[in-house]
Structure 1
Amino acid sequence: MPNPLAWRPTRSLADEFSPRANSIGLLRLLLAVSVLVAHAGPLGYGLANYGFAFTRGQLDFGGLGVYGFFILSGFLITASGMRFSLPRYAWHRFLRIFPGYWVCLVVMACVLLPIVSLYERGTLAGFWTHPNGPFDYVWRNLITVQNQFTISGLMSGNPSGGAVNGSLWTLLYELMCYAMVGILAWTAVLRRTPRLVALMTAVVYLFVVSDWVRQLPVPNTWLYRRGDIGPYPVLGVFSVNSVLFLGLMFLLGASMHLYRDRIPMHPAVAAGAGLAFVGSAAFGGFLAIGPLAYAYLLVWLACKLPRWTQGVGRKRDYSYGIYIYAYPVQQLLALMGGARWGVAAYIGLSLAGTLLLAVPSWFLVEKPAMSLKNWTPRALAKRADPEPAPEPVPALPQVSIPTQRKAPETAAAPVGR
């Protein structure tokens, strides 16, 4: 029987990854569900996010999901930035994030929370006119900056408090990464000087590792807290730790795309990455070792999972809907006593309830919005989108710490407890 780990002529990531036949859709779905599972602890029972116990407080399942999203986004979005003109690229990114996000805000404020008001208070009196009411919630959070977390003082008795959606804060950091790729593509850095992206990745990685080393003498902590920067007009306040760590994950994915012809895809390398990932998560040192191993593992799985997984999410991508709707559904279930049936039942009910919103979100909002990706204003209709310059290797295609207040403790944050 042949040894699967025996070294053989190695194919590169560029050889192995097919834009039309990969398992990224399945991975994104699993990452979204992992955030839901992590939040079951605090939202249902007032506990820490699930996963912290296994990793000695380094990260939880929710953090793992968020980091995975940023790695895959870096890999895919960099390809998108290299394929399209800057206006077309920006239009695609807008369509992927904002229509679904805006409808989610309206559904939470004007559909779910009125139900909560009737359940808690038996009336809608004062709901619409509250100083932190539903219309304020939509307006203040319109551009993904989370300036308001509660609506009309509802759900304040829940185990984790009354935050309506503690997962949305990551979207602002995602948009920052999109903007970075747009600038790097517009300045031709992605095509002509990819070494600059590799250098950026190395610098951010060294910052993260230095923060880990700096905190080693302090018991029961694993990351030096750098605080916040800002506020900035419109964008508000940013967590430096979130910028560094989420930025590192995105840059790792971007670097893997840019150097895909030099990255070997071999089961022995994957096995080593798996051991490094599990070992650093279980015994310590995840910040120093885990990000590199995790990035390789995700992309390797995207190439190597069975063929039947390659169709998941290709025509029906529910991952974004699951991510943005899971938190309010879990809050609603916790309010109504859904957690009393046990953790497994609570997670199952949460997933089922989330799908009731995520599936319509895909068919009624996200998919129709993305069908407009080739739309051009009439005034510009005669100006064709410029063809991208040919690449030397095959091109590839293309998914939290609020800004003005502290994020709810239950959000899948990139810093541990």
Structure 2
Amino acid sequence: MSQILPSRSSVSDSISGHDNNYTLIRVFLAASVIYFHAFGMTAGPVLQDHLSNTLLPITSVGGLAVEAFFFLSGLFVTQSFFKDRNTLGFAGKRFLRIWPGLFVCLLVSAFLICAITNPHNIPRIFVFSGFYDYVLKNAAFDITYVIPDTIEGLPFPSINGSIHTLPLEAKMYVVLGFLGLIGLVSRRWLIMVASAVTMLVTLIPVHGIPVLSWVFPSTYSHVAYTMFFAGVFTFGVAKWIVPRLWHGVALGLLMLILHDRLHVIAFYLFVIWSILFIGGWSKLGSFIRPRQDLSYGIYIYGWPSAQLLLLTAGPRISPYLLALLALCLASAFAAVSWRFVEKPAIAFGHRLATTIARGRSGSEPKETRSGALDVRIIFALSLVLVACVLARYVVYLHPFVPVVEMSARIKAFGPDQAKAGVPLNVQPDGTSAMWIALDSMPEQGATVVFSNHRLVTATGKNLVTATVDNSLVGHPGDKPIYVERRLMSRIERSNVVFMHVSP
């Protein structure tokens, strides 16, 4: 039986081993996200999310759960980096912790959604470009939420709305990795200074600084960024923090008497205290302590689980019932993901980091049966990824379904001519673009095809715009242009127009 933590241990003591309650906290947070999302995903009688109402206007249940996730991530990821200060090993472990589980989740959820919404076309899933587009774009952290002609009838037509936080999390890893690369994660006092400065950066508008505006975009996620580096800072001072009950009482009183920004600061300090106090509370651990960390799997499978339930049971289900059923289904997915994907990938990441640390001249880690299994699983995932990339190329090269005329037709487009080698209709951000006017509203999934190249397309009312790579007008000639929409059962194409590119 594992030793129960003393009730007054420091944060450093509580996070250094496995006898803590942080896994339980993460599972609770993942369940909270499912609960929050359920209220926006149903079309039944309007029910109030009273828990979120009590947190407004500061945050919501889902927002607070994500912010708490980011705090815990900053705390534990910094601990991992501090123990093994190898940037390549750190990057490998972080990648293998997030990506394999995400990739399998994308494959599973995309297949199930396509199969349930198109039960008579299941064999065509594997020659459907939308399936591969969804999986590969999201696997590359280019977040997209829909597959055409699947869940368009649901109140919130997104296959997985939760994964938008994963690129943000990955960016925080990049920043922390950079801090480690320049030596700012080698001493606790350096961690404190670096994280404090970074927290200030996350709170300052950085529109005019290209790199910083990419890392810390001006979105609601600024609080999550700040909480991540609050977790980094907490690790720096973890030896001296001993969460006590009177700390929480004092912070609660401060929340009552302070206003505006100071009230918000006191609120998040109370949240951080709550996480640290519960995380090291030994009495709670004596009652319940999960042996498997299913939190990530519950988080990434929570939304698609809810959508699968809505597709089968109907959108008018109670959000409370939906949250309960989705949590059960997501937990089942998460258990399988942990056993067969996440746990082996984590083990492979640790073995990889050890190999990098020892170097080519050092002794190789001893191969074990479990280690060989880890390698086989990672190899299998790599093969599936390659197969998806090749399949996507093939299905775009050869239409495996009938090509039919699109109901919308091109009426006009511009510019209708260009000069070879000269950028086309240059936009303020330096990119080239074009517009196409249609005689009716384009349906979801419509894409501009320019000289057999699919363009990044934005749709509006009777109008689509697209970004044009300058290489497409690098040579003279008449360039064919049309609008296309690829579905599982057919490919819809508009009439073809031509842009004249002069020498």
Q: Indicate the TM-score class for this superposition, using the shorter chain for normalisation.
A: 0.7 to 0.9
2:145 paired residue among 141, 144, 149: 149
Choose between structure 1 and 2 for higher RCO, CA contacts under 8 A separated by at least 6 residues: 1
Aligned twin of 1:111: 112
Unaligned runs of 5+ in 1: 1-9, 212-225, 386-403, 407-417
> How many angstroms does 1:113 deviate by?
2.4
For residues 117-128 of structure 1, the aligned pairs below 5 Å read 117-118=118-119, 122-124=120-122
* Separation (CA, whole Å) in 1 of partners of 2:342 and 2:179: 27
- Determine which structure has the larger strand proportion and give its number: 2
Matched letter for residue 77 of structure 1: V
1:21 paired residue among 16, 19, 25: 19
1:291 paired residue among 252, 268, 289: 268
2:280 paired residue among 295, 303, 307: 303
Cα deviation 1:219-240 (Å, max 9, x = unaligned):
xxxxxxx9899799xx989632
Q: How many residues align?
A: 352
> How many angstroms does 1:139 deviate by?
1.6
Q: Structure 1 residues 156, 286: closer, same or farther in 2, change over 3 A?
A: farther
1:194 paired residue among 174, 191, 195: 191
Q: Is the 8 A contact 2:202 2:216 kept in 1?
A: no
1:273 paired residue among 225, 243, 251: 251
> How many angstroms does 1:370 deviate by?
1.4
Q: Is the 8 A contact 1:127 1:152 kept in 2?
A: no
* Separation (CA, whole Å) in 2 of partners of 1:172 and 1:309: 36
Aligned twin of 1:38: 36
* Separation (CA, whole Å) in 2 of partners of 1:317 and 1:60: 24
Q: Could you say what secondary structure the match of 1:190 adopts?
A: coil
Matched letter for residue 312 of structure 1: R
2:300 paired residue among 321, 324, 329: 324
Q: Is the 8 A contact 1:23 1:309 kept in 2?
A: no
For residues 40-119 of structure 1, the aligned pairs below 5 Å read 40-45=38-43, 50=49, 51-84=51-84, 85-118=86-119
Matched letter for residue 92 of structure 2: W
Matched letter for residue 111 of structure 2: C
> How many angstroms does 1:17 deviate by?
4.8
Aligned twin of 1:261: 239
* Separation (CA, whole Å) in 2 of partners of 1:352 and 1:339: 18
Q: Is the 8 A contact 1:38 1:49 kept in 2?
A: no
* Separation (CA, whole Å) in 1 of partners of 2:253 and 2:296: 30
Cα deviation 1:123-171 (Å, max 9, x = unaligned):
448755566x11111122222230x2111221111111x2110000101
Q: Is the 8 A contact 1:41 1:48 kept in 2?
A: yes
Q: Structure 1 residues 231, 182: closer, same or farther in 2, change over 3 A?
A: closer
Q: Could you say what secondary structure the match of 1:250 adopts?
A: helix
More moved, 137-146 vs 285-294: 285-294
> How many angstroms does 1:267 deviate by?
1.2
Q: Structure 1 residues 33, 293: closer, same or farther in 2, change over 3 A?
A: same
Matched letter for residue 90 of structure 2: Y
Cα deviation 1:351-393 (Å, max 9, x = unaligned):
12212211111111111111213334699443369xxxxxxxx
Taking structure 1 as the reference length, what is the TM-score of the superposition? 0.73
Matched letter for residue 91 of structure 1: G
Q: Is the 8 A contact 2:11 2:243 kept in 1?
A: yes
RMSD: 3.6
Q: Is the 8 A contact 1:44 1:331 kept in 2?
A: no
Q: Structure 1 residues 68, 287: closer, same or farther in 2, change over 3 A?
A: same
Cα deviation 1:333-363 (Å, max 9, x = unaligned):
1222355453332222111221221111111
* Separation (CA, whole Å) in 2 of partners of 1:42 and 1:93: 31
**Higher Rg:** 2
Matched letter for residue 382 of structure 1: S
Q: Structure 1 residues 256, 177: closer, same or farther in 2, change over 3 A?
A: same
Q: Is the 8 A contact 2:11 2:238 kept in 1?
A: yes
Matched letter for residue 159 of structure 2: V
1:250 paired residue among 228, 242, 246: 228
Q: Is the 8 A contact 1:228 1:240 kept in 2?
A: no
Q: Could you say what secondary structure the match of 1:370 adopts?
A: helix
For residues 127-276 of structure 1, the aligned pairs below 5 Å read 133-146=130-143, 148-160=144-156, 162-192=157-187, 193-200=190-197, 203-204=200-201, 207=204, 239-242=217-220, 244-274=222-252
> How many angstroms does 1:30 deviate by?
0.1
Matched letter for residue 87 of structure 1: L
Matched letter for residue 158 of structure 1: L
Aligned twin of 2:350: 374
